[in-house]
Amino acid sequence: MSRESARWSATLVGPAFVAGSILVTIVVAALGPSAMVPLLRGPGPQPPYSLDLRPDGHLVVALAAVAVVGGAIGLVAGLRGLRRLAAPDPRRTRMMVAAGCLAAGVLAFLPPVGSADHLNYAAYGRIAVLGLDPYVTVPSAVPHDPVAGAVEEWRNTPSVYGPVATGVQALASWIGGDSVRLTVFVLALVNAAAFVATALLLHRITRGDPVRQRRAALLWAVNPLVVYQLAAGMHVDTLAVAFVVAALVVESGVLLGLGIAVKVTVGLVALGPAWRYRRDPRRLLVIAGAATLTVAAAYWLAGPHALDQVLNASKSVSIATPWKLVQKALQGVFGAGAYRSWIQAGSLILMVVLAWLLLRAGARFRAGMAFGAPGSTPGDSDPGWAPGAAPGAARGVVPGSVPDSVRGSVRGSVPGWAPGAAPGAAEAPMVALAVVVAWLFATPYVLPWYDGLALALLAMVPASALDWFVVARLAALSLAYLPARQLDQPPDLGWLVTVVRAQVVPWLLLALTAALVWWAARAGAHARTRRA
């Protein structure tokens, strides 16, 4: 890509598609109850608000598809163009972050889009306020309650969320009372605050490097796929991501524990700080101890059944993953059966292998060294995360010859490289990213909004080819779940589930996973050769 075409891509094509996608997402929410937007019962004057036009299901699903496809195009164009630009305008980057925060704020006042999970959140909070245990009591057990009775798909499922999430849901229910609408609005405000906090944290920690700061904005604040899934979708993952990102930034075990107590799977991030302080037992004990005490206290308060549904969910296989193809193949060869233990074992092996390959490719480096050179384009001059290479080595800069001004810019772009920070702190988000990506690509049960954690961690580390794998995966899963609810769906759009979700996307993700394994293995082998 020439410098002129890169500038055109980064300043015109990318922003146009990104802005258009986010605006389309806002329009879908503003139109009101539809196949994409569940009905929220409650007094009309209460937020969230909408035009209540009851649009046709075909229209809103098509608009959502446009938002996903257009958003993916804009994101790729923006990231691709950015890697060829020497110095993006910091003022424009700040405007982008502000625009993303504004979009999240606007969406908080509109009904959530894409799934009915927020109705589950409201129901579990309501059950807790009624004095019942949401980890035992299912919404259908209180069918005449105006809030618990509004649940769609999860009527017979206890809460799978952590105690902190349940506490937030209970607070929202206490404020919202009998109104589903007001309860959801309080949850939406918390969700928007978490989204904005993450955006500002990522903007802050990448200061000093305009390229990385712009990239962080693209990967989170104005990422149309993240806005669609987490800001508009109002999933609890947003709050969990905010806690663990803050925990990595300030190296806090308490914040890490709070994130795990929102959603237990984000506990994989803890492996980052564990690796970071592997040679400092005292500091490791402080962080691990604080996180463990926080999680233990939260789950103790929640009661003995708080983890029951998490364990059950870990045995499930979601329809859009490649493991569903494996399950069908096993059923065809060996007969009827879920083969869950086989799939769990296979997914664990894949996760371990992929994590090892990614760590070998990118996390074996000395203090002050990064996954890749600032602003480099993996696949062109950089074979991967450039482990063991000093920043700039992928561009032919001799280690030790980087000017102080440039070196200072690099140090300010990742936690631990800021002036006065301890050397090696950048290891934590890098190792966390490798493990989280391995889990996302290997787990049998995953939904598109789970990928928000990987996007936030990507924004904390230098650019690499891993960007494209994660973006492609989220785009494919977003298309697979258009929408992630079945109520009010036009019957003639059933092929979106039976064909796209059940057949096309699993094969796409299988190919993407194979490509990621190949890339990680190749990058790691190249790095070892270069070090030798």
Would you state the pLDDT for residue 425? Answer: 58
Flag the least confident range among 116-130, 328-342, 372-386, 440-454. 372-386
Average pLDDT for 135-142: 94
Would you state the pLDDT for residue 4? Answer: 56
For residues 294 and 291, what is the distance between their CA atoms, to the nearest angstrom? 5
Would you state the pLDDT for residue 79? Answer: 92
pLDDT band at 81 (very low <50, low <70, confident <90, very high): confident
User: Which helix (DSSP H) or strand (DSSP E) does residue 80 occupy?
Assistant: helix 57-82
This prediction's pTM:
0.89
pLDDT band at 1 (very low <50, low <70, confident <90, very high): low
On the question of a cis peptide bond just before residue 48, with omega within 30 degrees of 0, the verdict is yes
For residues 124 and 138, what is the distance between their CA atoms, to the nearest angstrom? 8
pLDDT in tens, 168-210: 999 999 999 999 999 999 999 999 999 999 999 999 999 988 9
pLDDT higher than threshold 70 for residue 416: no
Q: Residue 115: what are its φ and ψ, rounded to 5°?
A: -150, 175
For residues 110 and 181, what is the distance between their CA atoms, to the nearest angstrom? 10
Which is nearest to 49 in space by CA: 34, 63, 32, 36?
A: 32
Average pLDDT for 206-234: 95
Contact of 359 with 434, CB cutoff 8 Å: yes
Bridge partners (DSSP) of residue 382 are 378
pLDDT in tens, 13-36: 788 999 999 999 999 999 999 999
Percent of the chain at pLDDT > 70 equals 84
Taken in order 507, 74, 411, 272, the sign of the CA dihedral is negative
Would you state the pLDDT for residue 381? Answer: 34
**How many other C-beta atoms can be found within 10 angstroms of the C-beta atom of residue 58?**
12
| Token reading at 503 | 């057949």
Would you state the pLDDT for residue 371? Answer: 37
Angle CA(482)–CA(477)–CA(160) in degrees, nearest 5? 90
Q: How far is CA 187 from CA 172, 231, 261, 359, 472, in A?
A: 6, 11, 17, 37, 29
Would you state the pLDDT for residue 414? Answer: 36
| Token reading at 88 | 């993006």
Tokens 């598809």, residue located: 65
Q: What CA dihedral angle connects 431, 437, 439 and 443, to 10 degrees? A: 180
Which is nearest to 253 in space by CA: 233, 231, 229, 269?
A: 269
Contact of 232 with 21, CB cutoff 8 Å: no
Return mean pLDDT, the chain: 86
pLDDT in tens, 483-503: 999 889 999 999 999 999 999
Would you state the pLDDT for residue 307? Answer: 82
pLDDT higher than threshold 50 for residue 385: no
| Token reading at 242 | 């905010």
Would you state the pLDDT for residue 410? Answer: 35
pLDDT higher than threshold 70 for residue 406: no
C-alpha atoms less than 13 angstroms from C-alpha of 169 in its C-beta half-sphere:
29
Average pLDDT for 231-245: 97
Residue type (1 letter), 310:
V
For residues 458 and 35, what is the distance between their CA atoms, to the nearest angstrom? 32
Average pLDDT for 347-351: 97
Would you state the pLDDT for residue 274? Answer: 94
Q: How far is CA 202 from CA 174, 255, 450, in A?
A: 32, 16, 18
Contact of 211 with 82, CB cutoff 8 Å: yes
pLDDT higher than threshold 60 for residue 420: no
**How does DSSP assign 332-374, residue by residue?**
HHH-S---HHHHHHHHHHHHHHHHHHHHHHHT---TT--SS-T
Residues 6+ apart with CB under 8 A from 516: 354, 437, 441, 469
Which is nearest to 253 in space by CA: 214, 297, 302, 218?
A: 297
On the question of a cis peptide bond just before residue 45, with omega within 30 degrees of 0, the verdict is no
Secondary structure (3-state) at 42: coil
pLDDT band at 316 (very low <50, low <70, confident <90, very high): confident
**How many other C-beta atoms can be found within 10 angstroms of the C-beta atom of residue 250?**
11
